[in-house]
Amino acid sequence: MIYLDNSATSFPKPETVGQAMLNFINNIGANPGRSGHVLSIEAAKVVYYAREEIAELFGVSDPLRVVFSSNATESINMVIKGMCKPGDHVLVSPMEHNAVMRCLENCRSHDVSFSVLPSNDEGMVLVDKMAEAILPNTVLIIVNHVSNVSGLIQPIREIGKTAKELNIPFLIDAAQSAGVFDINMETDNIDLVAFTGHKALYGPQGTGGLVIADEFSHDRIAPLKYGGTGSKSECEVQPSFLPDKFESGTQNAVGIAGLLEGVKYIKKIGLDNIRAKEKELAKRLYEGLSSIPGIKIYSKNNENYASTIPFTIDSITTSEISDILNEKYGVLCRAGLHCSPGAHSKIGTYPDGTARLSPGWFTTQEEIDKTIEAIKEMVNGS
């Protein structure tokens, strides 16, 4: 089996991820931060170390500004629902995932509006035109750092700098980029990062979080959930401090134990090494596929793109492509619209979508070569 669906979730995971989860469930098991006994403290330490590793990854000095959630989607909801009031306006890139778009669509009924930032044909935000899109009631800019549809990388540094000059909070959706691309919230002027644990951070599904920049006032965000935090139990009012303000209910500590190991693993290898390897694999795939007649690739083989390769074949529908690759060749990929109809519209692949191949750190050159051969054979046989 050749797994090329790392944009959906990374697989396999480093061995230490599963081991840490097993160890937590068998040997630690207690509720972090709820009690004073040794196991509860042990559990709290695991969660705290994960905060430290993640804070460092995103260039934040205070680990308590890492708020855990179940995934990027929840974190994005936390920001949009927590910040936007009736009458407010949000600006987004044209490449947003439904995690952002459905939440914004839902907020329309609360009189929150949104519009799309100016961009080029590929969907890259035109930073020098950003100011023109700002309205007097714009309260938030959201940009998907790396597109799950085309792999397009947005110029977050330049967008951050401009957002700061315009004095508008800036949220990035780092679901695809965290763990592969450098993100420094301080130097890149990013106020909020929504990340998911199960993709390029190599943690388990059901982990993720929101990172709040050291200088960003979290008073601007109301919690999405209210409830027990283990802190200030005598008080029936939600705590106002981080991370408890946003972490009601027992956390997924087993998952976070795994996420901690995933993050340690990618740091040990080095993001630049991961990026270089994945880019090399993507280049090989891109070049191999380009020579096949009737194939169309919707990413580019240049520094503006990550390692996601979306393609279509004239004579075969995208769902057939993924079915044949799966059944006949054991190549696993994802076809369709990838929860992002707007991004597909932008690159001209709506409503049919594309087949998407996404290598990861554990993908080998040999697997790439076999995949190219499989697609060649499939096209010849069609």
Ligand X SMILES: Cc1ncc(COP(=O)(O)O)c(C=O)c1O
Is 53 near other proteins (CB under 8 A)?
Answer: no
**CA 64 → CA 1, 29, 61, 248, distances in Å?**
41, 22, 9, 15
Greatest alpha-carbon span in the chain = 71
Distance of CA 343 to the CA centre of its chain: 15
Q: Name which position in 84, 175, 266, 378 contacts ligand X (CB under 6 A).
A: 175
Neighbours of 226 (CB within 10 A): 13
**Does residue 299 touch ligand X according to CB under 6 A?**
no
Contact window for other proteins (CB under 8 A) among 144-152, 240-248, 286-294, 340-348: 240-248
DSSP state letters, 37-80: SHHHHHHHHHHHHHHHHHHHHTT-S-GGGEEEESSHHHHHHHHH
Q: Which does 6 bind (CB under 5 to 8 A by kind): ligand X, other proteins, none?
A: none
Q: Are 17 and 258 in contact (CB under 8 A)?
A: yes
Does the footprint of ligand X cover residue 148 (CB under 6 A)? yes
Give the one entry of other proteins, ligand X, none that residue 55 binds, where binding means its C-beta sits below a cut-off of 5 to 8 angstroms depending on kind: none
Q: Report what 175 binds from other proteins, ligand X, none; CB cut-off 5-8 Å by kind.
A: ligand X
- Binding segment for ligand X (CB under 6 A), chosen from 55-63, 78-86, 169-177, 369-377, is 169-177
When asked if residue 39 is in the footprint of other proteins (CB under 8 A), the reply is no
- Choose the one of ligand X, other proteins, none that binds residue 371, judging by a C-beta under 5 to 8 angstroms depending on kind: none
Nearest-10 crossing angle of helices 38-57, 253-269: 40
Residues with Cβ < 8 Å from 325, sequence gap 6 or more? 331, 332, 333, 355, 371, 374, 375, 378
CA distance 308 to 285: 10
Q: Does 44 participate in binding other proteins (rule CB under 8 A)?
A: yes
The footprint of other proteins (CB under 8 A) covers 32-37, 40-41, 44-45, 47-48, 51-52, 62-64, 229-232, 239, 241, 243-244
- Where along the sequence are the contacts to ligand X (CB under 6 A)? 71-73, 97, 99, 144, 148, 173, 175-176, 196, 208, 339
